[in-house]
Structure 1
Amino acid sequence: MQNELLDLFTSFVNECKYSTRLRNETIRGYQAVFNLFIKIMPEITETEFLTTPMLNEFFKRIQTRNRIVGRNTIKVGVKNSTIKTQWTKLNVFFTWLENKEHITINPLKGIRPPKVSYNDYRRIDESDINKLFSAVVNNTRNPFLFKRDTMMLSLLIHTGVRRGEFISIQIRDIDFTNNLITIRGETSKSGITRMIPMHPTLKYHINEYLKERNRLGYRTEFLIASSVNDRGLTLEGLKHWTNRMVEISGVDFHLHKFRHSFACELSEKGISIFALQKLMGHSDIRMTSKYTRSLKAEDMMNEIMKINV
C-alpha cells in the first residue's frame, strides 16, 4: 500500500540533498527522526493524520515507552534536549509540507518545544577522562589501535569539534609548523572554516599515531583511519568505537560531552565569548552563550573579586 507521507519525505530529502545542498550530517538527522516518527506512529501514513493531537501522542509515546540501552538495561523517559531535537527536525519537514501546500497548517505550531537547561553536569570530569585513557591502555594490545584511540581521545578533549568534523579531519588539515588544525567549512555545521590551536599533548599523540600509521602503510587522506580497511572512520565506525569505549571504561558518555567540556573549561579560564565563538564554529553567539550560562557561582568568584569599589 502506498505511503503518502513516506513519498513526500523522500521528495523533501531530495530537495535538501540536490537543491538546497544541505550537509549529509544534517540530512541524516532529519532521516533518523522521521524514521523514529513512523516507527512510533505507524498509523500515520497520510498527511490528513498530521494533527496537533497526533503529534502530542507521538511525544507521549516517546517519553513513556521502554527502551533497551547498553546490555539489556531498560529505561523509560528521555531528556528535554531529545524532545527539542525531535521537535526541531520534524518542524523543518512539516514547514516544508505547509509551504508546498501538502498540509494547511504545520501541526507543531500548536506545540511549544521544552526548554533545555545547559549545566555543568553534562561535562566529562577529569576522573572520567583518566578512566577512558586507562581503558585504552589496559584493553588495547594492537599498537596501531592503541595510538589511534589515545589520539582520538586527545583530539576530542583538546578541540571540542563536532562528530562530523571529527571524522572529516584530513592529514592536510594538520599544520605542525604553526601548531594549527583546520576545520573546513564544508565539514562544519556552520559552514565556517576555522583554525584551532594544537595543544602540545595533542600534537604529541598525533605524531605518535602518524608514525605507527605510516609504518603500516596507510594511505587514506583522513586523519582517523578505520581499523578494518585503508579508509577514514565512518559515522557507523565512530558509533561502534564510542560503544566500545563506554563498555571497557564504564564511563557513560556521548561525543558532544567533550565539546561541552571543552567550551566550559575555556569559559572558566576567562576566554572571551567572541574567541570561544570562533573556536566552537558558531555562526550565532547565542549558541556560545549557553556555555557561559552553565558556569556555577563559585567558578566566577575570581571575577567578582576584581571589583575594587
Structure 2
Amino acid sequence: MSLQHRFPTLFEQPHAGEWLTEQESLRPANTVSAYGYALVDYFRYCAIHAITPASAKRAEVVAYVRDLSERSKSTTHALPGKRVGYVRSTTHEGFANATVRLRLTTVRLYYKYLKGTEVLATNPVEEGVYGWGKRYSKARRGWVARLEKEFWLPNARQWQAILDAASSECIRNRFMLALAYDAGLRRAELCALQIRDIDPSSQLIKLRPETTKTGVAREVPYSDVTAELFAAYLEHRQSLGQPTGPLFLSESRRNPRQPLTIWSWSKTVQALGKRAGLPMLTTHTLRHLRLTDLAKANWELPIIAAFAGHRSVATTMRYIHLSGRELTERYRQTLNSILDQRQETMKTSLL
C-alpha cells in the first residue's frame, strides 16, 4: 500500500507528502511508518488549535510537546466534523518518554525539510535549544531528556507461567513465541518474515534489510524446539492454501489469510500475559530476555550486538539487564547450562 493511501491527510498538507516520500527512500519502512503516524498526530493537534503547520512558531511546538506529556489518553479529541478522535482510549495520562521524543524528532525533521527547500527561513525546532523557556545551550541538549525506564524481565517462575499459558495457544502463536525469543526479534521483524526467509536445513533466519530497524540484513539461528514447532506450523499452514508469501497469516474471520499485523501479535502477547498473571509482558520483553540470557551465558557484547542487529554496543547495553549478583555469577555459567535449560522448558510446554 502506498504512503498516500496509508496517510491521505498528510498529502493534503503542503509539502508533508513530499517529505514523507523522501523519507521512504532514505529510511527503513518501519521508521517511515512511525514518522507518518507521528506527523498525522501533530497535524491533528494543529487543526484543533487553529495552527497552520507550515508556519507554526516555536512556542506552538513547545505547547504540542507539553500536550504530549500531559494529554489524557482516556480523552478523545475529535476534529470538527469528524466522528473519530485521534487519541486511543487508555487509562493513564501522558505519552511515554520515547513516544514524545519520536514525535518531536518527526516534527523537527519535517521543519528541517521545509527550511532546506526554502519554504521556511528558520526551523522552529532547531536541535540544541532548551524547551519551555530555558536558554540556548552550546551543549546542544534536546528539548526532551531521554529517560531510561526500568525494564521488567520475567524470572524463572514467571517464564514458566508464560509458557504454561502459551501451551493452550494455537500452533502459530506457540511458534511465534518461541521464534521471537530464540532469535531476539523485534515484532516488526517477526511479522514481516516470509517463508523463504527461514532455512530449516541450517536452522537460520535471514532478516532482509527492508524489514529491520537499522536497514541492515542479518542471519540468526533458532533452536531445535523452535524447529519442531516450525515443522508443525508449516503442516498446519498448508491448509490455508498459500504455499508461499508471508510466514504468519491471520486466521480470523475478518482478515482470513492476510499477513498478520504487528498490532495483532501485540494483542496476542498482551492477552497471554494477562492469563499468566503478568500484564507487564510485551512483545519486546522476549527480545530483552533473549539478549540478557546471552549475556548471562558469557557471550561477548559485540557478538550480542550483531545478533540483535544493533549498530552500537551502547544500544545493546540498554537491552541487557543483569543484577549485581548475576554479574558475579556470570563467569561460572556456561552457554549450554543456561540456554539448554531454556530450551527444555519450552520443549515441555510448547511441544
TM-score range, shorter chain: 0.7 to 0.9
Match of 1:100 in 2: 117
> Which residue is 2:199 aligned to?
175
The one-letter code matched in structure 1 to 2:165 is: A
Moved more, 213-222 or 166-175: 213-222
Contact 1:225-1:231 within 8 A present in 2 as well: yes
Instruction: Write the deviation string for residues 152-174 of structure 1: whole angstroms up to 9, x where unpaired.
Output: 11111111112221112122222
Please name the residue that 1:232 is paired with. Answer: 259
Unmatched 5+ stretches in structure 2: 1-8, 76-87, 132-141, 333-351
Deviation string 1:224-281 (CA, Å, 9 cap, x unpaired) is 1221433421344435544544555552333222222222221222211111111111
Could you tell me whether the CA contact under 8 Å between 1:220 and 1:230 is conserved in 2? no
Runs of 5+ unmatched residues, structure 1: 141-145
Task: Provide the C-alpha distance between the structure 1 equivalents of 2:94 and 2:10, rounded to a whole number of angstroms.
Answer: 29
Q: Which of 169, 173, 178 is 1:149 aligned to?
A: 173
Say if 2:297 and 2:330, in contact at 8 Å, map to a contact too. Answer: no
- Out of 95, 101, 105, the residue aligned to residue 84 of structure 1 is 101
Residue in structure 2 matched with residue 123 of structure 1 by the alignment: 153
Return the alpha-carbon distance in structure 2 between the equivalents of residues 302 and 244 of structure 1.
Answer: 34
Determine if the alignment matches structure 1 residue 134 to structure 2 residue 139. Answer: no
* SS of structure 1 residue aligned to 2:40: helix
The partner residue of 2:299 within 245, 260, 271 is 271
Q: Which residue of 1 aligns with 2:312?
A: 284
In the aligned structure 2, how far is the partner of 1:99 from the partner of 1:58?
A: 23
Q: Which amino acid aligns with 1:12?
A: W
TM-score (norm 2): 0.73
Counterparts of 1:180 and 1:269, CA distance in 2? 20
- Which string of whole-angstrom CA distances, capped at 9 and with x for unpartnered residues, describes residues 2-45 of structure 1? 9999322112112223xx25332121100111122223343322
Q: CA 1:237–1:101 in structure 2 vs 1: closer, same or farther (change >3 Å)?
A: same
CA distance in 2, matches of 1:26, 1:3: 16
Residue 68 of structure 1 corresponds to 74
1:27 aligns with 2:32: yes
Q: Is the 8 A contact 1:183 1:195 kept in 2?
A: yes
2:71 aligned partner, one-letter code: R
Question: Which residue of 1 is the match for residue 227 of structure 2?
Answer: 203
**Any conservation in 1 of the 2:10–2:40 contact (CA below 8 Å)?**
no
Write out per-residue CA displacement over residues 160-205 of structure 1, whole angstroms, 9 at most, x where no aligned residue. Answer: 1122211121222222221211112221122222111111221122
2:41 equivalent in structure 1? 36
Superposed displacement of residue 298, structure 1? 2.0
Out of 186, 191, 200, the position equivalent to 1:162 is 186
**1:102 alignment partner, SS class:** coil
**After the TM superposition, which of the residue ranges 244-253 and 202-211 deviates more from structure 2?**
244-253
Q: Aligned with 2:14: secondary structure?
A: helix
SS in structure 2 of the partner of residue 182 of structure 1: strand
Q: Distance in 2 between matches of 1:230 and 1:6?
A: 35
**Alignment partners' CA distance in 2, 1:58 and 1:222:** 39
* Counterpart residue identity of residue 232, structure 1: P
SS of the counterpart of 2:196?
helix
Q: Is the 8 A contact 1:40 1:62 kept in 2?
A: no
Alignment CA distance shift 1:95-1:136 (3 Å) = same
Q: Which amino acid aligns with 1:97?
A: L
Distance 1:226 1:102, change over 3 A: same
Instruction: Tell which deviates more after alignment, 33-42 or 265-274.
Output: 33-42
Structure 1 length-normalised TM: 0.82
Match of 1:143? Answer: none
Between Structure 1 and Structure 2, the one with more helix by share is 1
Letter aligned with residue 317 of structure 2? S
Cα distance in 2, alignment partners of residues 34 and 150 from structure 1: 36
SS of the residue aligned with 1:34?
Answer: helix
